[in-house]
Each structure stands twice: as C-alpha cells, then as structure tokens.
C-alpha cells in the first residue's frame, strides 16, 4: 500500500483497527528476524532512521547505519532494546545502507548476517560474531565470498546443516545477476518470462562461507510452471524466510510492489516450492517483511508497518501476531488491521 495512495485519514482508520502494537516506540525498527535462543525471544531488526533522502524505487531513502537487537523474556513481556550491536563504521568493507539482517547460533557463538552496500555501491552480505545473542558483534574483515544482493536469512535444518537464503529485486540489485555473475546490462525479465528466484546456499561448518555455488530457487504455480515476472501479486521480490512445519519446507517472502507476504511449500531446502497463498495482507507503508518462529508450541509472525510514523515508508515498527495453520498445513491469511482471520 504505497504512501501516495493512502491519505492520513485512511491511515488513522487502519491504525484504530491494528491487530498488534509496535514492539518498541523510542526508535523505528523494521525487517524483524525472530529466533528463540535459551528460551528467550530475540529479534534482529533493521534500525530505521531519517537519512534525509527522498523516496525512490531504488530504496536510497533506507539509509540505515546500525543495528540494535530486541529481546523478550516471554511472548507477553516488554521488548528490551539492547543498544547498538553493530555500526556501519565498524565494518571495513561496508559503506552504507545496513538493511534486513538475521542471526543464527552455533557451538556457543552467535552469527549475525547483514547486507550493506560496499564502497562501489554493490550490496554484499557480511557476518559478525559475538558470544552473546545481543552483541556487540565483531564483523569479519570481508563480506561472504560470492555473496550479493540483500535480505539474508539463515535456516538450520533438523540434520544440523545451515543454509542461507537471500536476494531482492529493484534496489536489492538481484536483477543484475544471472548464475551468480554480475553484469550492469542485466535487467528484470519481461512480464511474460519467469520471474527471478531467490537464492540459497548451504553454509560451511563455521558459518562464515557458502560451501557451494548459490542456487536459484523456483516458485511454481498450480500447473507446475515458474511464476512469471508479470505475476507481481505472487512472484518473489525480497525478504526470504524458511521454516519447517510438519516435515515440510515453507518458503515465504515479500512480493514488494504488490505488498503481500506469500509462501510456497516444498520437500527440501532447495525447492521447488509450490505457491500456496498469502500470509499477510498489505501493511501501512510500502515495504512488507517478516519472519516466522515457534515459541512454547505456538507459531508467530513478526512483521513491520509504518503505523507509528503515520505512513512514512522508511520509518517502520516491528510487531508480531500469532500465526495459525489449517488441518492441511495451509497458513491462515492475516489482515493486519482486523483481528478476524480468514
Ligand atoms: O529495510 C530495507 C529493505 O526494505 C529491506 O531489505 C527489504 O526487505 C525491505 O523491507
């Protein structure tokens, strides 16, 4: 729901019916990646600021400079801001735009992963490590070799293997790559051509590198064909997330310019994933971004909207709501401004 088609009155009306409140209100937060570590909930969000850059389709107005980790002792506890966990000035290779991050735990260490533009203006993904889930995180000197684009998300499978999902089109630069190679001349496919898929790679045991060439993921329609670029209410745009439910792999993502969070189901971490529907209807603001996590036997959707800033696209707030499945394992669509589930 772009800013320009929503007036202030419409925004106020939606806010009155919002199904959840911002987790914190003393700063703007977005792109929440939620995890349970040591029975507590940790949320790894972007830290939105007003960098004074006007809205454009390249996302230059998302000029974030640092990260804070939020934590909650229980699902109904207040969220605590644990201060600056990583700043762009401390990352030798990064120049600007600290976008949607994630984190994973392995062998006593916490691995924070984040995208940022390097000095040449190209997005890459970096890792930073800490003994604590809240940081501060010490960044590696270089980005992950062979990494590109935005929105990295870790996934630990039940066999203990870790994967990383990433990618985003438009400002996320994924359209500039084919088979992991960058070319300035590469563009988005035509509307009647298959859309670009998100990317996945298995990680090395130390979680610092890809252990294989990254693969493109295919999301298929009901006939088994790849979703087309012109199918912008269903095709992948950015914000990849993976979770497992009842033995199946659920790949979820944002459709960007049509503002949905959607998902597909597959039999393994590489897909293909069969498109199943919408998880979240459009929120106030242009972007939508989510994560899904299980806590004490229930599932939760973490997401953001621009309610606190009354619709300012780049000033968002992290929220959460319970997520439920039907008997077939399909996710009930959530309307963020009406508590009734469909
Ligand atoms: O926060 C900057 C960008 O906006 C993220 O990387 C995207 O997923 C979108 O939420």
DSSP 33-97: EEEEETTEEEEEEEEE---S----TT-TT----EEEEEEESSTTSPPEEEEEEEEGGG-TTEEE-
Q: What is the pLDDT of residue 55?
A: 87
Question: Peptide bond before 315: cis, by omega within 30 degrees of 0?
Answer: no
C-alpha to C-alpha distance for 131 and 118, rounded to whole angstroms: 26
Q: Write the DSSP symbol of residue 184.
A: T
Q: Which atom of ligand 1 is nearest to the CA of 100?
A: 6
Tens-binned pLDDT, residue by residue, of the chain (342 aa):
444 556 889 999 999 999 999 999 999 999 999 999 999 999 999 999 999 998 898 999 999 999 999 999 999 999 999 999 999 999 999 999 999 999 999 999 999 999 999 999 999 999 999 999 999 999 999 999 999 999 999 999 999 999 999 999 999 999 999 999 999 999 999 999 999 999 999 999 999 999 999 999 999 999 999 999 999 999 999 999 999 999 999 999 999 999 999 999 999 999 999 999 999 999 999 999 999 999 999 999 999 999 999 999 999 999 999 999 999 999 999 999 995 444
C-alpha to C-alpha distance for 59 and 270, rounded to whole angstroms: 28
Cβ partners under 8 Å of residue 290, min gap 6: 32, 239, 241, 252, 254, 261, 279, 280, 301, 302, 303
Q: Which atom of ligand 1 is nearest to the CA of 238?
A: 8
User: Which is nearest to 33 in space by CA: 234, 252, 297?
Assistant: 252
Q: What is the pLDDT of residue 7?
A: 87
C-alpha to C-alpha distance for 43 and 282, rounded to whole angstroms: 21
User: Which is nearest to 38 in space by CA: 178, 132, 142, 161?
Assistant: 132
C-alpha to C-alpha distance for 49 and 53, rounded to whole angstroms: 10
Pairing assessment for the beta strands 80-87 and 66-72 based on DSSP bridges: antiparallel
C-alpha to C-alpha distance for 220 and 223, rounded to whole angstroms: 8
Q: Where does 3-323 sit in CATH, by number?
A: 2.115.10.20
CA of 144 to the centre of ligand 1 (A): 19
Which residue in 18, 31, 231, 305 is the catalytic one? 31
| 3-state class (DSSP) for residue 175 | helix
Query: Do 24 and 316 touch, CB atoms closer than 8 A?
Result: no
Most informative mutation of 66, 115, 123, 150 for ligand 1 (most atoms within 8 A of CB): 150
Residue 120 backbone class (left: φ over 0; alpha: ψ -120 to 50; beta: rest)? alpha
CA of 327 to the centre of ligand 1 (A): 32
User: Which is nearest to 217 in space by CA: 164, 181, 259?
Assistant: 164
Q: What is the pLDDT of residue 5?
A: 52
Which phi and psi angles does 118 have, rounded to 5°?
-80, -175
Q: What is the pLDDT of residue 339?
A: 57
Q: Write the DSSP symbol of residue 137.
A: P
Cβ partners under 8 Å of residue 232, min gap 6: 255, 256, 257, 258
Residue 258 burial (10 A CB sphere; 0-12, 13-18, 19+):
middle
Pairing assessment for the beta strands 273-280 and 219-220 based on DSSP bridges: parallel
User: Which is nearest to 10 in space by CA: 230, 337, 242, 313?
Assistant: 337
CA of 279 to the centre of ligand 1 (A): 18
Q: Is the pTM of this model over 0.85?
A: yes
- Residue reference for tokens 């976008």: 99
Radius of gyration of the chain measured on its C-alpha atoms: 18
Note if 140 is an active site residue: no
Note if 335 is an active site residue: no
Q: What is the pLDDT of residue 342?
A: 42
């Amino acid at each position: 729901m772009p800013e320009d088609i929503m007036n202030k009155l419409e925004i106020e009306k939606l806010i009155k019916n919002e199904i959840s409140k911002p987790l914190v209100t003393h700063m703007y937060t977005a792109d929440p990646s939620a995890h349970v570590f040591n029975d507590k909930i940790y949320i790894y969000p972007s830290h939105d600021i007003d960098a004074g850059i006007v809205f454009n389709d390249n996302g230059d107005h998302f000029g974030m400079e640092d990260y804070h980790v939020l934590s909650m002792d229980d699902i109904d506890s207040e969220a605590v801001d644990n201060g600056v966990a990583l700043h762009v000035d401390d990352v030798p290779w990064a120049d600007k735009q600290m976008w949607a991050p994630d984190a994973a735990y392995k062998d006593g260490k916490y691995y924070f992963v984040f995208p940022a533009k390097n000095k040449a203006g190209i997005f890459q993904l970096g890792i930073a490590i800490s003994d604590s889930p809240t940081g501060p995180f010490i960044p590696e000197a270089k980005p992950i070799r062979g990494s590109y684009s935005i929105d990295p998300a870790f996934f630990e499978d039940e066999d203990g293997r870790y994967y990383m999902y990433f990618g985003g089109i438009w400002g996320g630069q994924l359209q500039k790559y084919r088979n992991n190679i960058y070319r300035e001349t590469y563009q988005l496919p035509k509307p009647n051509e298959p859309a670009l898929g998100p990317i996945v790679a298995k990680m090395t045991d130390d979680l610092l590198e890809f252990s294989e060439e990254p693969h493109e993921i295919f999301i298929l329609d009901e006939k088994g064909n790849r979703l087309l670029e012109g199918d912008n209410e269903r095709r992948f745009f950015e914000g990849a997330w993976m979770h497992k439910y009842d033995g199946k792999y659920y790949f979820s993502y944002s459709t960007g310019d049509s503002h949905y969070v959607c998902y597909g189901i597959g039999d393994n971490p590489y897909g293909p994933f069969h498109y199943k529907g919408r998880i979240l209807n459009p929120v106030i603001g242009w972007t939508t971004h989510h994560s899904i996590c299980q806590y004490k036997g229930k599932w939760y959707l973490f997401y953001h909207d621009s309610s606190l800033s009354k619709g300012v696209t780049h000033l968002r707030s992290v929220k959460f709501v319970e997520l439920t499945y039907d008997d077939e394992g399909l996710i009930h669509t959530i309307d963020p401004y009406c508590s009734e589930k469909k």
